[in-house]
Amino acid sequence: MQDNRVLKPAQAAGTVRLGDLTVQRMGFGAMRVTGAGVWGDPPDRSAAKALLRRALDLGISFLDTADSYGPNVSETIIAEALHPYPTGLVIGTKGGFTRPRRSWIADGRPAHLRAALDASLARLRLECIDLYQFHTPDPRVPFVDSVGALADAQRAGKIRHIGLSNVSVAQLEEAERIVDVVSVQNEYNLRERASDDVVDACARRGIAFLPWYPLGAGSVLRSAKIKRVAARHGARAAQIALAWLLARSPFMLPIPGTGTIAHLEENVAAAALQLSAEDRATLG
């Protein structure tokens, strides 16, 4: 039967799979649903909740967060705004970073990951997390020990699917000998392409790639070439940067974050942009 429903903006880019779950290819990164510097409460908690609800209204079905955002703030506000969660919403969170004195310190010890997972479950008001991502390898802890701790939690029913973040292709392969990996989240954008090989490895495997800093913390948007393409489309530079990511791989799942509904709506509108061969050649 033909579906005659009007697509919501986030649905224009199609879908990608996270294991047995299907989500729209434009997600939302909830890192900025916190205070300045990803620390403490947001300046307006009600506005932060309204932003999350608007993301769902626009058709977004995947939210990315972490226990280190705040710390603990982003997960708590997601639950306050959206629980009980609507059918089809997939929440991914991460563990493996701590925030002493606002710094970012890796902690991949199995005991820490077990405690972090249990705390995230409580804050998100969940019995099982759809996607739990190992936030970063810890050079002081064998990588296989950290991944093994998540494998144990998955067998215990606390994690549905496992993802990795800030990893190389070799680390992805190492993890795959222990668990089924459904996603990788690395820094990636028009300017920062060091993970090109990881993007391609994910595509070969049919697993999602989540680019963090998809706009390069704003640095990408100052490029003359992106401004030229934006002018051709009557679009904003940020929208072109996101459209380029979507065109880079069918397994790309951008998760741009913002603190304002206006920027959220602009970002989601990028899902409908189609870049030409000339556009892609200009962007390089």
Nearest residue to 161 via CA among 109, 122, 208, 202: 208
Host domain of residue 217: 9-283
DSSP annotation string for 158-204: SEEEEEEES--HHHHHHHHTTS-EEEEEEE-SSS--TTHHHHHHHHH
What integer pLDDT is reported at residue 174 of this predicted model?
Answer: 98
- Which of 69, 132, 188, 213 is catalytic? The answer is 69
213 among known catalytic residues: no
Residue 2 maps to a domain = no
Residue 4 maps to a domain = no
Question: How many domains is the chain built from?
Answer: 1
pLDDT at 6 over 60: yes
**CATH number for 122:** 3.20.20.100
What integer pLDDT is reported at residue 151 of this predicted model?
Answer: 98
What is the DSSP code (8-state) at residue 145?
H
Per-residue confidence band for 5, with pLDDT thresholds at 50, 70 and 90:
low
pLDDT tens per residue, range 231-280: 999 999 999 999 999 999 999 999 999 999 999 999 999 999 999 999 99
Q: What is the pTM of this model?
A: 0.96
Residue 239 maps to a domain = yes
**Residue 93, SS3 per DSSP:** strand
Side-chain-facing half-sphere of 147: CA atoms under 13 Å: 20
Residue 3 maps to a domain = no
Residue 1 maps to a domain = no
